[in-house]
Chain A
Amino acid sequence: MLTNRSKVVVNKQMTFMERIYLPAVIGGLITTMKHFFRKKTTIDYPKEKREISENYRGQHVLKVDEKGAERCTACGLCAVSCPAEAITMTAAERKKGEENKYREEKYAAVYEINMLRCIFCGLCEEACPKEAIFLTDRLVPVSGNRDEMIYGKDKLTEKSFNQVDISKRQTPEVLAFKQQKQYQHNK
């Protein structure tokens, strides 16, 4: 016996009151009616949204910098840190004249996250040396099609005129760290 929770089964005869079931039915109805007067546990979802944490880990965003150039340099650290192996990428070399499109000489030509595999752990965000990928408070919409759940750069990269605010994810410590001059050697 592994636990002390086991019970011996007895084949006991029911009494008359138990056999007519009415007291049990009424007892059940009382419990049901009690719930009418309780606070509702559900919400009217699309119209009403639950409050979520400031650093909620939802759909990813690939950031662009203040000039609108993509920050991702396809270093592969997010993919290697990903425990679900949801991220794949193909790198390409930046050509002359594309300096305003890509920040570094190498960029991700293909960047895909399989949202069905992703467990939203945030390790990619933690691994990223270029502050290119962040998880946001947006939810990943459901789909009836598996192919649609593989998000490419079209869905992940933010538009430079409509940047996703990730300032709340950056703690005062992180911001203070960025101000230090000795860490700016990669600019």
Chain B
Amino acid sequence: MPKVTIDNHEIEVPEGTTILQAARMIGGDIVPPAMCYYSKLKTSGGYCRTCIVKVTQGSAKDPRPMPKPVASCRTFVMDGMVVQNTTSPELLEARKGVVEFLLLNHPLDCPICDQAGECDLQNLAYDHGADTTRYQFERRTFEKIDIGTKIKLHMTRCILCYRCVKVADQLTEGRVHGVMNRGDVSEISTYISNAIENDFSGNMIDVCPVGALTDNTFRFASRVWFTKPLDAHRNCAKCSGKAVLWMKGDEVLRVSARKDKYNEVEDWICNDCRFENKNKDQWVIDGPRFIAKDSVIAQNHYENIDLQKLKLDINRQIKFQGGKDILEHNSRVQFDEESKKALEATKK
């Protein structure tokens, strides 16, 4: 099994693991950001270049460094490979350049965009991007397209990550989605601008890292940070039925799939669950969705602290972030035996 060192963390991984996957096995801040790679979609990755890393030692046999930063989602690890991500200022500068390229044609319409607040590109630009642009020309613009009645395509916002194309290819039978043209004029399009009559086509909304594909039933209904996300499930013949309800009062504004810490969907949900069941009574509520404390979605939610609920939340949080630094920061909370065991297990 090859041994790889990423930002001074050594890990042994199975043959055929990519650097990005190895970094995710280590976890924490050293994981390179990814806009196009999606672990649940085959052959995704390699388009956006945000996950670039510096390989300072190719392998134990051939210790020469790689001449250029490499895309970590497409580069397999070799035994004795040494990789730098956050420890290399040079690389962070290069990534800043990549982000600048991604933002080149991206409109600054976050105040209008429904994705704002849960947008990967927004987070990426906030963490890695420059706060100004040097681009002074007209940005490319497209007309809005309705893909079916429920999905809206804003090609202007698209960063061409190809994730939605992979969803159409791999999740749904028969490809009805693709990228046309090349370079600056390439655009996502249905072959005939007809509806996509597939049960899982709604998942394109969830995989889209920007606001290019948005839920038409949620369009302008509310900003995400004014909604309250709840984990819920229902018996569904087509999918797992595990979803997140985005509530405002007792009203379900939107249903989306549950996402993990890398913003990747855990279980694909079908269009019935996503678009047709917008009544609270049709769902069994599992509890509040864990939202990272520094997310804008967690803003202005002051609920009465219910200790029982808090304990539940913390248990979920432990599971969510793999037990990292929970005990140190929450010394006031008493843990029960079960959660302590869970914590120990995840630390190992």
Q: Does A130 contact B (CB under 8 A)?
A: yes
- Interface pair B108/A185, CB less than 8 Å apart: yes
- Interface pair B220/A92, CB less than 8 Å apart: yes
B208-254 interface with A by 8 A CB criterion: 219-223, 225-226
Q: Does A80 contact B (CB under 8 A)?
A: yes
CB distance from B290 to the nearest CB of A (A): 20
A33 to B134, CA, bound (A): 71
User: Assuming A80-B300, A85-B300, is B136 touching A73 (CB within 8 A)?
Assistant: no
> Residues of B within 8 Å of A, CB-based: how many?
23
User: Assuming A73-B112, A75-B110, A104-B112, is B226 touching A182 (CB within 8 A)?
Assistant: no
- Interface pair B112/A105, CB less than 8 Å apart: yes
Contact residues in A for B296 (Cβ distance below 8 Å): 80
Q: Does B299 contact A (CB under 8 A)?
A: yes
Q: Does B116 contact A (CB under 8 A)?
A: yes
Contact residues in A for B107 (Cβ distance below 8 Å): 185-186
User: Assuming A105-B112, A186-B108, is B132 touching A93 (CB within 8 A)?
Assistant: no
- Interface pair A93/B220, CB less than 8 Å apart: yes
Contact residues in A for B300 (Cβ distance below 8 Å): 80, 85
A105 to B225, CA, bound (A): 20
**What mask results when residues 74 to 96 of chain A are scored 1 for a CB within 8 Å of chain B, else 0?**
11110110000100000111000
CB distance from A24 to the nearest CB of B (A): 54
Report, as a range, how many residues of chain A touch the other chain.
Answer: 20 to 34
Nearest to B139 among chain A residues (CB) is A185
A105 to B211, CA, bound (A): 15
- Interface pair A80/B299, CB less than 8 Å apart: yes
Contact residues in B for A182 (Cβ distance below 8 Å): 132-136
- Interface pair B225/A73, CB less than 8 Å apart: no
CB distance from A43 to the nearest CB of B (A): 40
Nearest to A128 among chain B residues (CB) is B111
**What mask results when residues 108 to 143 of chain B are scored 1 for a CB within 8 Å of chain A, else 0?**
111110001000000000000000111110010000
A138 to B34, CA, bound (A): 49
User: Assuming A75-B116, A93-B220, A182-B133, is B299 touching A129 (CB within 8 A)?
Assistant: no
CB distance from A174 to the nearest CB of B (A): 16
Contact of B136 among A75, A79, A104, A181 (CB under 8 A): A181
- Interface pair B112/A76, CB less than 8 Å apart: no
Most chain-A Cβ atoms within 10 A of its Cβ — which of B109, B135, B296? B109
- Interface pair B111/A75, CB less than 8 Å apart: yes
Contact of B111 among A93, A130, A183, A185 (CB under 8 A): A130
Contact residues in B for A101 (Cβ distance below 8 Å): none
- Interface pair A183/B109, CB less than 8 Å apart: no
A-B contact pairs, 25 of them (CB 8 A): A73-B111, A75-B223, A76-B226, A79-B226, A80-B225, A80-B226, A80-B296, A80-B299, A91-B220, A91-B221, A91-B223, A93-B220, A104-B109, A105-B112, A106-B111, A106-B112, A106-B220, A129-B111, A181-B136, A182-B132, A185-B107, A185-B108, A185-B139, A186-B107, A186-B109
Closest 6 CB pairs of A and B: A75-B111, A76-B223, A91-B220, A186-B108, A106-B112, A73-B111
- Apart from A75-B223, A129-B111, A185-B108, what are 4 other A-B pairs with CB-CB below 8 Å? A80-B300, A104-B112, A182-B132, A186-B109
